[in-house]
Structure 1
Amino acid sequence: MEAISAYLNDLGAAVVLPILITIFALILGQTFGKSLRSGILIGVGFVGINLAIGLLFGQVSPVAQAMADRFDVSLDVVDVGWPSSAAIAFGSHVGAVIIPFCLALNIVLLLLGLTRTFDIDLWNYWHFALVGALVAVGSGSFWWGLFAAGVAMIIVLAMADYAAPYIQKYFNYPDISFPHGTSAPYAFLAIPLNALMDKIPGLNKVEADPAAINKKFGIFGETVFLGAVIGLLLGLAGYGFDDPRADSIAILTLAINLAAIMVILPRMVSILMEGLIPVSEAARNFMSKRFPGRKYYIGLDSAIAIGHPAVIATSLILVPITLLVAIILAPVGNRVLPLVDLATIPFIVAVMVPIFRGNIIRSVIGGAIAIGGGLFIATAIASTFTEVALRSGFENTTGAAEISSLVDGANPLTGLLVWFGYIGPVMNVIALVGALAFAWWVRGVMKKRDADALAAESAEAAPEGSA
């Protein structure tokens, strides 16, 4: 099992997902040619997205390090980033069995009607493995760790179901949900925050979505200019002009590269969606024939959302804000220096942005609150995270005594379940009961939404003047 998990980890999502999509499409009744085309296009899309994210990482990391140096940040827990976190998770004992375990659990929940999401993004099961590995070390029990991983999946699937209508409407992704451990939990922070912001005078009148910005500023409000401006500001904050020649080159290069990312990422996502939409339609037809009245969602990586201009603009603005928040919170308990995962902030805000209706100002505020609170969680679990890393064979080359991450070390769901694991078995059982009750409640909410939507459609279809 360890060898299989390591092999899938080495293949990565860009290879594993196309294979799964091809098999899935064949099961749904598509021809082999169409199924293979969908799978390959999705793989091509993910390769393009990963290249753009790599470019983003390559540009953001140096300027983030420069900002940390300029601000004289000296925090003793280093953020090692999601690639290391995924390797640590799959390298654990829980990670060795996480894929068959969570896949079986997902199928059971689908059969019981406790979720609508079929999470085919097996590679990202590492999020559940990380929770399980942390609980296993904290509780001293592999079985309680695996138990916690299952609880994490139940909650994430329920959150994905609940947030799916926001995602489907805003991004225009029919029958898609994001059971992504980094993204889904933040929906339940964004929903009350958005309701609160709707009641704050002044803030509730500000339109700051990309379309409104474009309308107000014309050509200078286009996403390509937005990326360039954010790049210039980030560069000035990080590099300054201590060395005019070298710093000006670095700043202008950053501006053009961020402008490129704002243009390239949406194009790569459109390629991925070209492959996915036929599979989504086939899944809808397949389920409507065999299970009339029931809806199902294809669960995917939230990477397909990070190319949206509002998501990437929010994320880039949050880079310096995250470092500033880390510094401000240091006197009151934060020990984590955000570095590697600054480039993966888009995944943290991917589900929040559609809930805020693409409003960049609201999304930045919500993201700053989420990350600020998350830094305390990442600090609290740093010792356990470091212990899991050592047991998984991770080589700590950072020079720091302890390590952690924003993805998923700062995640509220991770923090909650690890805390329950510290307390003991009784709290683990309570967590399972709570997770199942939550999934049942979401099931009821979704049924009510369906009934309301059907009633609205019937009202629209009724002849004029009819009762």
Structure 2
Amino acid sequence: MDVIINLLQWFIGLGSTVFLPLIIFIIALVFGVKPGKAFMSGVTVGIGSIGLNLVLNLLSGSLGAAIQTMGEQYGVALNIMDIGCGVGGPLAFSTTIGILLIPISLLVNFLFVALGLTKTLNVDIWNFWFPAFLGLLVNAVTQNFVFGILATVVAVILQWFLADLFQEKVSNFFGYPGIAITHMMALSGVVFAIPVNWVFDHIPGLNKLNADAETLTKKFGIFGDTVFMGLIIGVVVGIFAGYDIAGIGTLGMSTAAVMKIMPKMVAMFMEGLMPVAEAAKEFTSKRLNGRQVNIGMDAALTVGHPTVMSTSLLLVPISLAIALVLPGNKVLPFGDLAFFTFGICLMIPYFKGNIVRAIIGCSLYLVTMLYMSTWLAPTITEVFALANYDVGTTGLVTSVLCGIWPAGLFVIIANYLGIVGVLGIGVVVIVLMAYFKGIRSKKAVTE
């Protein structure tokens, strides 16, 4: 067992820009892609991943530093530290639960695909960290390691179900055929967006307002352009952070550059994935009775969309304002501010790409995350303690983007019903999977 854990830790230690191309290469070969083409697919995905990381590092480095300065100036009364979801991966994969989840998830995923319970073949190994994090929360609540392992399995099954449920809408909106987004933080927001958008549809005036990024550009010219919006947001944040003229200008240009470069990096990522997605479709058509399989990937593929980027940037000042006035909230958004895009990206298709709906809806969603992350803070702090992970503070820590309903659900169920309740979640999800499998089968017959 120790040998397996050490081997998996070594593999994860290679970094996502190394192990992801390897995984894509291997899966491409399995699906019958010629070795040369499979190799270039993996390399291209790796290049796209590096490009995305560079842009995100630019965003988090420049905007993140300004945001931290703002937080120090305006958030002294909020005493729970938002450590950010960025430490989630290192935390999860520094634990036995996180490492063991990798082979367990892959094996169970292949089984569920073969049984037709899911159409998602999840290769986004890095983001296994969130199901592992849910398992660690259960471990912290129950003080039982085995219960934590079982909870991670339930969590990945829930992840595949949500990915299947929303795949068609998300794929059509972003133009990614054969791809399913398996990022749990992104998937969770859709559950909130669907009923909220229904409410928007029934509000006079708002239901007639169409304000997507393309419409704004046509109507307002340069003032509706996402690059210009990024420039303005960067300048405004720089002013509130107390920067000098040079600092304000640099931050504005950096934010504008992110808005321009990000879609190009996503396009390169997809260039590498498409041959694999097409081969997977052909492979399953021949060998799995025509059953469709979608390749599960990171939400990073969606962050280049203009409405996603504009909304996530506008949420930075909005979130700080909400946190300061929200009764009962004890968290100032801090570590997660530069990563809001991963929490709200899949909500955008359900808001029809409408930036006004997106800003209002995502702001409301942020309120729920602030309350949830405040409530979860003691348990999240306990998770870090169990993992012997140094967070650099003796107080309570949390993550705004981890303050989502799956985390709350697992903690509440584990607290009141124990592992029986957590396994009950798994049973319900599997039953729903079987139900939707039956619906798909009937639909295929009628077509």
Q: What TM-score do the two structures reach when normalised by structure 1? A: 0.90
Name 1:459's counterpart in structure 2: none
**C-alpha deviation, 1:169, in angstroms:** 0.8
Q: Which moved more, 1:379-388 or 1:96-105?
A: 379-388
Name 1:384's counterpart in structure 2: 379
Q: 1:66 aligns with which of 64, 69, 85?
A: 69
Aligned length: 443
Name 2:261's counterpart in structure 1: 264
Cα distance change on mapping 1:381 and 1:117 into 2, 3 Å: same
Cα distance change on mapping 1:260 and 1:3 into 2, 3 Å: same
The question of 1:22 aligning with 2:25 is answered: yes
Contact 2:63 2:234 in 1 (8 A): no
Structure 1: any 5+ residue segments left out of the alignment?
A: 240-245, 455-467
Taking the TM superposition and a 5 Å limit, the aligned residue runs for 1:220-231 are 220-231=223-234
Name 1:128's counterpart in structure 2: 131
Q: Which moved more, 1:78-87 or 1:313-322?
A: 78-87
The question of 1:306 aligning with 2:327 is answered: no
Contact 1:151 1:431 in 2 (8 A): yes
Taking the TM superposition and a 5 Å limit, the aligned residue runs for 1:68-467 are 68-239=71-242, 246-329=243-326, 331-332=327-328, 334-397=329-392, 399-408=393-402, 410-423=403-416, 424-444=418-438, 446=440, 454=447
Listed one character per residue, the Cα deviations across residues 327-354 of structure 1 (whole Å, up to 9, x for unaligned) are: 222x32x222221111111100111111
Q: Which moved more, 1:246-255 or 1:356-365?
A: 246-255
Listed one character per residue, the Cα deviations across residues 203-232 of structure 1 (whole Å, up to 9, x for unaligned) are: 111112111111112244222212112222
Over the matched positions of the two proteins, sequence identity in percent amounts to 37
Letter in 2 for 1:138: V
Contact 1:88 1:388 in 2 (8 A): no
Cα distance change on mapping 1:55 and 1:215 into 2, 3 Å: same
Contact 1:348 1:367 in 2 (8 A): no
**C-alpha deviation, 1:403, in angstroms:** 1.0
Listed one character per residue, the Cα deviations across residues 290-314 of structure 1 (whole Å, up to 9, x for unaligned) are: 2233211100001111111111111
Cα distance change on mapping 1:212 and 1:380 into 2, 3 Å: same
Contact 1:162 1:446 in 2 (8 A): no
Contact 1:385 1:404 in 2 (8 A): yes
Cα distance change on mapping 1:77 and 1:111 into 2, 3 Å: same
**C-alpha deviation, 1:238, in angstroms:** 3.5
Contact 1:197 1:203 in 2 (8 A): yes
Alpha-carbon distance in structure 2 between the residues aligned to 1:449 and 1:355: 23
Cα distance change on mapping 1:73 and 1:100 into 2, 3 Å: same
Alpha-carbon distance in structure 1 between the residues aligned to 2:440 and 2:228: 40
Letter in 2 for 1:271: M
3-state DSSP of counterpart to 2:184: coil
Cα distance change on mapping 1:312 and 1:391 into 2, 3 Å: same
Alpha-carbon distance in structure 2 between the residues aligned to 1:290 and 1:96: 31
Alpha-carbon distance in structure 2 between the residues aligned to 1:365 and 1:15: 39
Cα distance change on mapping 1:416 and 1:449 into 2, 3 Å: farther
**C-alpha deviation, 1:257, in angstroms:** 0.8
Name 1:242's counterpart in structure 2: none
Structure 2: any 5+ residue segments left out of the alignment?
A: none
